[in-house]
Chain A
Amino acid sequence: MSVASLVSLTVNGQMRTVAVQPGTTLQRVLRDDLGLTGTKNGCEIGDCGACTVIMDGRPVTACLVLAAEAAGSEITTIEGLAQHGELHPLQKSFIKHGAMQCGFCTPGMILGAKVLIDRNPDPTRAEILTALGGNLCRCGSYTRIIRAVQGWKEFSDVGLDTAPRGDDERDQVRDLSVVSHGVTRYDAPDKVTGRAKYTADFQLPGMVYGKILRSPIPHGIILRIDTRRARELPGVLAVITGADVPETRYGVSPARYDEHVLAKERVRYVGDEVAAVAALDEATAERALDLIDVEYEALPAVFDPAAAVQPGAPLVHPENPRYANNINTRVEWDFGDVEQGFAAADHIREQRFVGNRPYQNPIEPHAAIARWEHHGERLTVWSSTQTPHYLQHMISRVFDIPMGNIRVIRPAVGGGFGGKAETTPLELCSVILARMTGRPVMMQYSREEMYYHFRGRHKLYMDLKIGVKRDGTITAVQSRVYLDGGAYTSFGVITAYYAGAMLPTLYKFPNYKYDGCRVYTNLPASGAMRGHGVPQPRFAFESLLDMIAEDLGLDPFEIRLRNAMEPNTRTCNGLDISSCEFTATLERARDESDWRNKKGRLPPGRGIGVGCGGFVSGAGYPIYRSEFPHSNAIIRVHEDGRAVSLHILASEIGQGSDTVLAQIAAEELGIPYDCVWVVECDSVLSPLDLGSYSSRVTLMAGNAVRMAAADVKAKLLAVVARQLDRDPAGLEVADGRIFVPGDPATAVGWDEAARTAFGQSGPLVGTGYYSPPEALGGGFKGSTVGTSPAYSFSTAVCEVSVDLETGYVRVERFVDFSDAGTVVNPVTFHGQVEGGIIMGLGETLLEDTVIGPNGVITNPDLHGYLVPTIGDAPEIRSAAVESYEPRGPFGAKEIGEGCLLPVLGAIGNAIYDACGVRVTELPITPERILLGLKNRKA
């Protein structure tokens, strides 16, 4: 029916003519036909703004423009912004302000800003918010983006370097040359020009496309699948079902591998994977899915954990007796003597809290490409994964291929937040389909499929009880938590433990009882999301602490200071806190926020609240047992001694790890930051690293990198020592020179020494590795979860305005002080804190994946599921307190997840201060606030 036609349009100044189908969008033309992959694909329905281009002087979302409608128009994409090799001032400004993290929204953001400043070179803040309101940044770089747009003119006539833009972001004093300086992000130039390639941007020769068919019912038996019509559709190359996938189950925790690549017999949620297709193009693959006939026997389903544990409830995994009553994981911890602790309390308060179902929603959809190499049994997989090693391990396990035969490449990743930390059916199906077709197979999720794959935050039902002395000293804590796990385990075993393990890390209490119960339901599986398992219990704890403080007439800071964790403490559940400046974060946040003048003194509808949090700097134990160090690095010095390459499998997912690791390498080597190349993340090029989860990279990969650099340095110093006839111990390295302190005449250039070394004994290479200290944890069941070499601590103070008539909450301001040890890079550090605050704000006030009738998601998109826009971003003052972690590289520890944890409680407490309504169920919607206001009146 449809007929191809020719469309001519001017793209970046060049007339281009392409053949299009009626339904072809401008987005597809730019990406697929013209290879301009800086135009991103995030949602395809105009909600996210990642595909923003300039069309005849106006910003448009290219996904909502038919190519035919763009005929004759003038289009500017991000690739057309730089002129004659010179970046546009906006691009420079974005680089220098660190106004991007994962970079996926950056091209659209910059183009939106370009239209604005072309019309109005001096936009007000309000004008910027209006202009960029349709460009979602899930990393939450909004505050930096606003500054970058406001300050663009500063970069009109200046060249670009990587030096810090200013010293204003340095909170700590360190006698270091590279570490602790806000050098520009390593990946920034690629991300502002559209050059950064994400998995879906690759077009391999001969590549074909795969899609997955999903179950339309929440629970049932597959009686019959007929794929004949699909296979006969022209352009279809392969169709697979559960019969074609290995018997081996996969998952995250070895104790609970419970997923097949495709359902073998039973479907357990709406969205469960049933079949997959490879075809010449994505449209044909999707069409083929409609031609697969599946006959189901529908079974009763269960959507609520409380109902799921009742006798007689439908069983989600009936084949496995271990999951009787749908209980997936049960934790029963009892530390100290809780009964005695409550008996000793002067005041006890208990409260039920109910969480929500936030979804990570990275703007980049998950994508994978598999290619068999026709070289024995070798396989290459490109994936938007946070954890290349675990992916390699899982492919090896599921398909019984040696890990050494599997190459995993992680291109740029457009945000993960935990949602890309596990192996997906995309990767596994693409491996099978690539084998069957003999061609590279690309698969990616649509936004809707992302929601059904889910692995978002568990919805928690929490009963929390705290007992205190009159002065606020906590005597006992009891927590009972039900976690809605969905149909599979994913990270859920660990989530169930984290939800209990982390409460004792912030405040000292001797008696603690935790009952956790993760329950299977016929819903998409919940998994690990930023702050893994902790934000909702932390929200409950921080809320209840404020309620108790009010009961006792104590200031919220007073009760927190009274119980605050101290350095070198073993918690009641056996976690070893090393460095800890929690008290300093409390005191400084209190003073900086002008708490004393504001608390209880703001006009009606305005409020201030405090919340605290903290997190592990990397999990103390790997997900599956292995003898390998957790992080490993290789540094190779280039022949001319002017550069080094850093080989590491740590995963830059936007948090800035490439930058931070390059800084650590440069600092230890004694060379400038600009001399470090970070090699593409590729398991053939770099040794094992467990990846980006549990906030482990700065500390663990950082230690491995530092050790590799020290190894290089030692070899280099040995060469110079021989040359100068000196003791290597008497030599120092700094600023690209090796010298004897106090004897400048003896200095040898770093590069010269490196050339000498290369000449004498070939490649100059250093290696390093890191494993956490052995035997962390208390040795009881589940005691490994929550262990870490180090912990972060944060205090956030939030100010809100509440519309007392509608319940609408505007978060006006955040003041955040964090103890993250040494801040390796102030720009990426503050980027993480600001982003964590904005993400936390979203899940506190806006976000919930709503489950409709029969297990169907009501809002699997970015207009029903609202994430914060640039206009929702509060003013943020973030700072680091003075702190040094002996186990971290140059004293550093984590920031990426800990920074989110104080946010929920701080907002909830500020809302209470503003209007007297304590909302104990997330998200805190206007409707819930209004209901609270009515109840108060009544």
Chain B
Amino acid sequence: MRIPDFAYHRPATLAEACNLGRTYGDQARFLAGGTEVLVDLRQKRCVPEHVIALGSVPDLNHIRADEDLLRIGSMVKLEEIAESAAVKRFFPALCEAVVHIGSVQIRSRATIGGNFCGAVPCADTPPVCIAGDAALRLVGVDGERTLPAQEFFQAPRQSVLDPDELLVEILLPRQPESSGVSYQRFSLRSGSALAVASVAARIVLEGPSIAAATVVLGAVAPIPLPALQCARLLEGQRPSAELFSSAAERAAAEAQPISDIRGSEAFRRELVQVLTSRSLREATARAGGGVQ
């Protein structure tokens, strides 16, 4: 399987990378870890004339945590996130999500930025980051913008990035007191298998009640899908098996799955229900609460 010809660029600065993006527009593709771009190239899913490799762009490889914010550079490799003590401390659910992605070989090359920018509906890091209230910092020729992670996705394989724009940082705020995040996913094999459905949930408790809830569904909609009705149903309520069961049902109804070789629409809805219920339980437990 031939890789089609292209011109290879390796900008040394972010500005240069953005300029190349603007110059070549649709004809160019940014290359981070390459685990997706090379597959696309081989399978002729995209045939860019220019590949802009980001490996030499500085300041995209950091994991920095301060009091209130965890900053992860977009070129940080997934395996580095899995191993990072800072991430484990600050937002452990991300480490849990990351280890499901591909194999150790893939995680040793693939980056978190790539996992977002590929905008594949079954990607594992976006749901959990969205549940954790992550923001994304984008830099383009004309400046930078920061937006909530859930606003990044538009359609399968399509994000809000302009051709000259790069995702440079994932920003995760300190999680609220008495909160817990859980990521649950289902795949058909023990490892190296795409999610058939996934659910990330965050529960914030206030006393015995749920003060805030976020439930994000993966692989069951064109983009990572916040299950808003499900969340609303939870808020202000005391965690209980009954509550979670009806919340899970609501999440399943909110999902917009398709049928493909990994599972039918109906099966995916069932999975959403089960995974939502499991993630709510785990998130609640992690928030220090119990389920009646």
Chain A positions near chain B (C-beta within 8 angstroms): 1-3, 5, 21-25, 44-47, 49, 52, 55, 58-61, 63-66, 68-69, 112, 115, 129-131, 133-135, 282-283, 286-287, 446, 448, 805-806, 808, 810, 846, 850, 858-859, 863-864, 866, 868-872, 925-927, 930
In the complex where A45-B43, A58-B108, A283-B2 touch, is A129 in contact with B189 (Cβ < 8 A)? no
Write the nearest CB–CB distance from A654 to chain B, whole angstroms.
Answer: 22
In the complex, A513 Cα to B59 Cα: how many Å? 74
In the complex, A912 Cα to B188 Cα: how many Å? 19
10 contacts between A and B (CB under 8 A): A1-B5, A5-B8, A69-B31, A133-B103, A133-B190, A134-B102, A806-B270, A866-B189, A926-B267, A927-B264
Q: Are B274 and A66 in contact (CB under 8 A)?
A: no
Q: Are A448 and B7 in contact (CB under 8 A)?
A: no
Q: Are B189 and A65 in contact (CB under 8 A)?
A: no
Q: Are A871 and B7 in contact (CB under 8 A)?
A: no
Q: Are B189 and A872 in contact (CB under 8 A)?
A: yes
Taking CB as reference atom, which chain A residue is nearest B193? A866
Q: Are B104 and A133 in contact (CB under 8 A)?
A: yes
Q: Inside 8 A of B105's CB, which chain A residues have their CB?
A: 46, 49, 52, 59-61, 64, 112, 134
Residue B263 interfacial (CB < 8 Å): yes
Q: Are A869 and B191 in contact (CB under 8 A)?
A: yes
Top 10 A-B residue pairs of the complex, sorted by shortest distance between their CB atoms: A134-B103, A871-B190, A23-B3, A133-B191, A22-B8, A58-B108, A2-B5, A286-B2, A927-B267, A805-B274
Q: Are A871 and B191 in contact (CB under 8 A)?
A: yes
Q: Which of B192, B267, B271 has the most CB of A within 10 A?
A: B192
Q: Are B104 and A69 in contact (CB under 8 A)?
A: no
Q: Are A927 and B41 in contact (CB under 8 A)?
A: no
Taking CB as reference atom, which chain B residue is nearest A858? B261
Q: Are B106 and A46 in contact (CB under 8 A)?
A: yes
Binds A, one of B14-22, B32-40, B167-175, B284-292: B32-40
Q: Are A60 and B7 in contact (CB under 8 A)?
A: no
Write the nearest CB–CB distance from A357 to chain B, whole angstroms.
Answer: 12
Write the nearest CB–CB distance from A159 to chain B, whole angstroms.
Answer: 32
Q: Inside 8 A of A864's CB, which chain B residues have their CB?
A: 261
In the complex where A60-B105, A61-B105, A64-B39 touch, is A22 in contact with B191 (Cβ < 8 A)? no
Q: Are A61 and B106 in contact (CB under 8 A)?
A: yes
In the complex where A65-B34, A930-B270 touch, is A22 in contact with B6 (Cβ < 8 A)? yes
Q: Inside 8 A of B270's CB, which chain A residues have their CB?
A: 806, 930
Write the nearest CB–CB distance from A24 to chain B, whole angstroms.
Answer: 8
The A-contacting residues of B in range 192-224, CB under 8 angstroms, are 192-194
In the complex, A286 Cα to B1 Cα: how many Å? 8
In the complex where A60-B108, A65-B34 touch, is A49 in contact with B103 (Cβ < 8 A)? yes
Write the nearest CB–CB distance from A117 to chain B, whole angstroms.
Answer: 13
In the complex where A133-B103, A134-B103, A864-B261 touch, is A21 in contact with B267 (Cβ < 8 A)? no
The A-contacting residues of B in range 90-144, CB under 8 angstroms, are 99, 102-106, 108-109
Q: Are B109 and A65 in contact (CB under 8 A)?
A: yes
In the complex, given contacts A60-B109, A805-B274, what are 4 additional A-B residue pairs having Cβ atoms less than 8 angstroms apart?
A66-B53, A808-B186, A869-B189, A869-B191
Q: Which of B105, B192, B193 has the most CB of A within 10 A?
A: B105
Q: Are B261 and A850 in contact (CB under 8 A)?
A: yes
In the complex, A806 Cα to B189 Cα: how many Å? 13
In the complex, A58 Cα to B6 Cα: how many Å? 28
Write the nearest CB–CB distance from A14 to chain B, whole angstroms.
Answer: 23
In the complex, A536 Cα to B1 Cα: how many Å? 34
Q: How many residues of B contact A (CB 8 A)?
A: 45
Out of B7, B99, B189, which one reaches A1, CB within 8 Å? B7
Write the nearest CB–CB distance from B60 to chain A, whole angstroms.
Answer: 15
Write the nearest CB–CB distance from A191 to chain B, whole angstroms.
Answer: 20
Write the nearest CB–CB distance from B44 to chain A, whole angstroms.
Answer: 10
Residue B55 interfacial (CB < 8 Å): yes
Taking CB as reference atom, which chain B residue is nearest A133? B191
Write the nearest CB–CB distance from A611 to chain B, whole angstroms.
Answer: 22
Out of A52, A64, A869, which one reaches B192, CB within 8 Å? A869
In the complex, A59 Cα to B183 Cα: how many Å? 26
Q: Are B192 and A134 in contact (CB under 8 A)?
A: yes
Q: Inside 8 A of A115's CB, which chain B residues have their CB?
A: 104
Inter-chain contact total with CB atoms closer than 8 Å: 146
Q: Are A133 and B192 in contact (CB under 8 A)?
A: yes
Q: Inside 8 A of A446's CB, which chain B residues have their CB?
A: 1
Residue B42 interfacial (CB < 8 Å): yes
Q: Inside 8 A of B103's CB, which chain A residues have their CB?
A: 46, 49, 61, 133-135
Q: Inside 8 A of A858's CB, which chain B residues have their CB?
A: 261
Write the nearest CB–CB distance from B58 to chain A, whole angstroms.
Answer: 16
Q: Are B7 and A282 in contact (CB under 8 A)?
A: no
In the complex, A131 Cα to B190 Cα: how many Å? 13
Taking CB as reference atom, which chain B residue is nearest A62? B105
Q: Inside 8 A of B43's CB, which chain A residues have their CB?
A: 45
In the complex, A872 Cα to B188 Cα: how many Å? 10
Write the nearest CB–CB distance from A932 to chain B, whole angstroms.
Answer: 13
Residue B79 interfacial (CB < 8 Å): yes
Q: Inside 8 A of B39's CB, which chain A residues have their CB?
A: 45-46, 64
Taking CB as reference atom, which chain B residue is nearest A116? B104
In the complex, A115 Cα to B42 Cα: how many Å? 28
Q: Inside 8 A of A283's CB, which chain B residues have their CB?
A: 2
Taking CB as reference atom, which chain B residue is nearest A808? B186
Q: Inside 8 A of B189's CB, which chain A residues have their CB?
A: 846, 866, 868-869, 871-872
In the complex, A864 Cα to B34 Cα: how many Å? 20
Residue B4 interfacial (CB < 8 Å): yes
In the complex, A416 Cα to B123 Cα: how many Å? 34
Residue B51 interfacial (CB < 8 Å): yes
In the complex where A69-B53, A112-B104 touch, is A1 in contact with B6 (Cβ < 8 A)? yes
Q: Inside 8 A of B10's CB, which chain A residues have their CB?
A: 68
Taking CB as reference atom, which chain A residue is nearest B103? A134
Q: Inside 8 A of B26's CB, which chain A residues have their CB?
A: none
In the complex where A64-B35, A866-B189 touch, is A448 in contact with B1 (Cβ < 8 A)? yes
Write the nearest CB–CB distance from B158 to chain A, whole angstroms.
Answer: 21
Write the nearest CB–CB distance from B98 to chain A, whole angstroms.
Answer: 12
Write the nearest CB–CB distance from A203 to chain B, whole angstroms.
Answer: 19
Q: Are B7 and A846 in contact (CB under 8 A)?
A: no
Q: Are A44 and B42 in contact (CB under 8 A)?
A: yes
In the complex, A625 Cα to B103 Cα: how many Å? 49
Write the nearest CB–CB distance from A104 to chain B, whole angstroms.
Answer: 16
Q: Inside 8 A of B55's CB, which chain A residues have their CB?
A: 69
In the complex, A806 Cα to B2 Cα: how many Å? 40
Out of B2, B51, B264, which one reaches A22, CB within 8 Å? B51
Taking CB as reference atom, which chain B residue is nearest A24? B3
In the complex, A66 Cα to B33 Cα: how many Å? 10
Q: Inside 8 A of A135's CB, which chain B residues have their CB?
A: 103
Q: Are B8 and A282 in contact (CB under 8 A)?
A: no
In the complex, A63 Cα to B39 Cα: how many Å? 9
Residue B49 interfacial (CB < 8 Å): yes
In the complex, A44 Cα to B43 Cα: how many Å? 10
In the complex, A133 Cα to B189 Cα: how many Å? 10
Q: Inside 8 A of B34's CB, which chain A residues have their CB?
A: 64-66, 69
Q: Inside 8 A of B38's CB, which chain A residues have their CB?
A: 25, 45-46, 63-64, 66
In the complex, A805 Cα to B186 Cα: how many Å? 11
Q: Inside 8 A of B274's CB, which chain A residues have their CB?
A: 805-806
In the complex, A68 Cα to B49 Cα: how many Å? 16
In the complex, A519 Cα to B13 Cα: how many Å? 62
Q: Inside 8 A of B31's CB, which chain A residues have their CB?
A: 66, 69
In the complex, A860 Cα to B169 Cα: how many Å? 36
Q: Inside 8 A of B2's CB, which chain A residues have their CB?
A: 23, 282-283, 286-287
In the complex, A59 Cα to B7 Cα: how many Å? 27
Q: Inside 8 A of B79's CB, which chain A residues have their CB?
A: 58
In the complex, A286 Cα to B2 Cα: how many Å? 7
In the complex, A863 Cα to B188 Cα: how many Å? 11
In the complex, A864 Cα to B196 Cα: how many Å? 12
Taking CB as reference atom, which chain A residue is nearest B108? A58
Q: Inside 8 A of A49's CB, which chain B residues have their CB?
A: 103, 105
Q: Are B191 and A130 in contact (CB under 8 A)?
A: yes
Q: Are B106 and A134 in contact (CB under 8 A)?
A: yes
In the complex, A930 Cα to B267 Cα: how many Å? 8
Q: Inside 8 A of A863's CB, which chain B residues have their CB?
A: 192-194
